[in-house]
Structure 1
Amino acid sequence: MVYQKKGQYVTGFSVGILYLDACWYPVIPGNVANLETYDFPVQLKVVSGCHTANLLSGDSTLLDSIIDAAKELEAEGARAISAACGFFGNFQDKVAEAVDIPVYLSSVIQIPWIRTGLKSSKKIGILTAYEAGLTEKLFESCGVTNTGNLIIRDLSQEEEFSAILENRGSFDNEKVRQEVVEAAISMVTEHPDIGAILLECSDMPPYAADIQRSVKLPVYDFITMIKWLHFSTSQRPYYGFF
């Protein structure tokens, strides 16, 4: 006997992804909100009234809309929920309490796990779209209680990358790639004790391979987290000889 959850019509996906309302810039492959990024299906859900400025500032009035969207994803059959901006992390703890499925809204959540695998003397380098938004409140919401070994590099003032924050509608992808990679190289050169890099921004995974190739370090981002989340909720049996 096969049963269907009442109210669920779309099936066959495990991870639901919250995204911003009314953003305007190219969402290229590798971006969390580009479906070509995944080799498994995901379901996207817009958060009404969630714009770049109020999300980056951690505007508390967004909480109800974010929870409503998360509950909709849960009702539609999502087995876990993520998001398409690291600054959803401001609401991580409260959204996790509001639904009955796992919630991982920010790539920042990976920091304790990354730290566990490094020597105690090593630091974690973070490339972010907006350093001022990486507040203690956001870190605490994401389960990060020690920020002493984090090196943060801000790209919000870069000539081309800033098109994302400013919703300019276009950008030169090769220039953005160059800015992100050069920021990573500069950060590691200045801090040779960095043992791994975390990309806070959901727009940075398209450049993760270039960063990794340039600095020869592990690179974590939203996609490493979402893949982990997908496989943790969609295990398949193994077949073969033994």
Structure 2
Amino acid sequence: MDQDLRMLGGRRIARGGKSIYGAPLGILMLEARFPRIAGDMGNAETWPFPVLLHVVRGASPERIVLNNPLEMLPQFIEAAKDLVDLGAEAITTNCGFLALMQAELSAAVGVPVATSSLIQVPWVQAILPPGKRVGVVTVSASTLTPRHFQSVGAPVDTPTRGTENGREFFRVIIKGEKDTLDIDMAEADIVEAGRALVEANPDIGAIVLECTNMPPYAAALQQAVGLPVYDIYSMITWFHAGLRPRVF
């Protein structure tokens, strides 16, 4: 039975206290105008359940990924609190680099918070056989630091490969050079980064995609490298499963 509906004396009693019902997961969105195709975290049709979206004004991908996102911590806390006030029972974000805010957001909003796909790195490591480790494909390896990994309890020496030198993905998602996206070229950037990561680190047994715009390309990468690939979609579907367990 839905947690907002209770039986009392044989009668159905609805419980209030929220502005929006039926969407327990709130997503803090960066402010961007690039195409968000199916599979992108910011495309509402990606999710098999309703979500609440809140754009944090001024939080551009370039500002968050290439600079210090903690400069905008007050704005993210305020936005997260707004989502909770609306009805969110848990909070996530649409940028893996916001891992730096994990502790602060968790402390501020009083509900479960999962800031980054990188949270999965220690989970995936736990399921790999001895001698294998997790690798990360990120939108920007040059600015993904040990502190990002440390913030979510992941090994700081996790091998990474970025898309900075690609032809499309970084240019559109981070630099905002145009308002169109060549999906095939973007996919090639992700696949090439993943292949280079595995070639340079033969002990990699699985890949985690840092960027929340990468899930549309996860299947192609998995086929290319023959390894398990985890992303924000895999993490958030797990996260939501605890908020609304399946009734058998």
TM > 0.5 fold call:
yes
1:182 corresponds to which of 172, 192, 203:
192
**2:42·2:94 contact (CA, 8 Å) conserved in 1?**
yes
**Structure 2 match to 1:151:** 159
Q: Where in structure 2 are there 5+ consecutive unaligned residues?
A: 1-12
**Structure 2 match to 1:101:** 111
**1:83·1:106 contact (CA, 8 Å) conserved in 2?**
yes
2:144 corresponds to which of 102, 121, 134:
134
Q: Offset of 1:59 from its aligned partner? A: 3.3
Do structure 1's residue 231 and structure 2's residue 241 form an aligned pair? yes
**2:30·2:59 contact (CA, 8 Å) conserved in 1?**
yes
**Structure 1 match to 2:15:** 3
**Structure 1 match to 2:34:** 25
**1:80·1:103 contact (CA, 8 Å) conserved in 2?**
yes
Name the SS of the counterpart of 1:195 in structure 2: strand
**Structure 2 match to 1:37:** 46
**1:107·1:222 contact (CA, 8 Å) conserved in 2?**
yes
Q: Offset of 1:155 from its aligned partner? A: 0.3
Q: Show CA shifts across 1:108-131 (max 9, x none).
A: 111111111112411211110011
**Structure 2 match to 1:161:** 169
Q: Offset of 1:54 from its aligned partner? A: 2.2
Q: Show CA shifts across 1:42-98 (max 9, x none).
A: 111111221123211223220000000111111111111111111111111100111
**1:181·1:210 contact (CA, 8 Å) conserved in 2?**
yes
User: What letter matches 1:50 in structure 2?
Assistant: A
Aligned residues: 233
Name the SS of the counterpart of 2:197 in structure 1: helix
Do structure 1's residue 112 and structure 2's residue 122 form an aligned pair? yes
Q: Offset of 1:132 from its aligned partner? A: 2.4
1:73 corresponds to which of 71, 83, 97:
83
**Structure 1 match to 2:6:** none
**Structure 1 match to 2:58:** 49
Q: Offset of 1:37 from its aligned partner? A: 0.7
Name the SS of the counterpart of 2:136 in structure 1: strand
Task: Choose 222-231 or 176-185, whichever is displaced more.
Answer: 176-185
Name the SS of the counterpart of 1:196 in structure 2: strand
Task: Choose 160-169 or 50-59, whichever is displaced more.
Answer: 50-59
Alpha-carbon distance between aligned partners in 2 of 1:116 and 1:161, rounded to the nearest angstrom: 30
Q: Offset of 1:186 from its aligned partner? A: 2.7
Do structure 1's residue 170 and structure 2's residue 195 form an aligned pair? no
User: What letter matches 1:136 in structure 2?
Assistant: P
Alpha-carbon distance between aligned partners in 2 of 1:109 and 1:83, rounded to the nearest angstrom: 12
Q: Where in structure 1 are there 5+ consecutive unaligned residues?
A: none
Do structure 1's residue 191 and structure 2's residue 201 form an aligned pair? yes
Name the SS of the counterpart of 1:43 in structure 2: strand
Q: Offset of 1:214 from its aligned partner? A: 1.6
Q: TM-score, normalised by structure 2?
A: 0.90
1:125 corresponds to which of 101, 111, 135:
135
**RMSD of Structure 2 on Structure 1 (CA):** 1.3
Q: TM-score, normalised by structure 1?
A: 0.92
User: What letter matches 1:202 in structure 2?
Assistant: T
Q: Offset of 1:203 from its aligned partner? A: 0.9
**1:58·1:133 contact (CA, 8 Å) conserved in 2?**
no
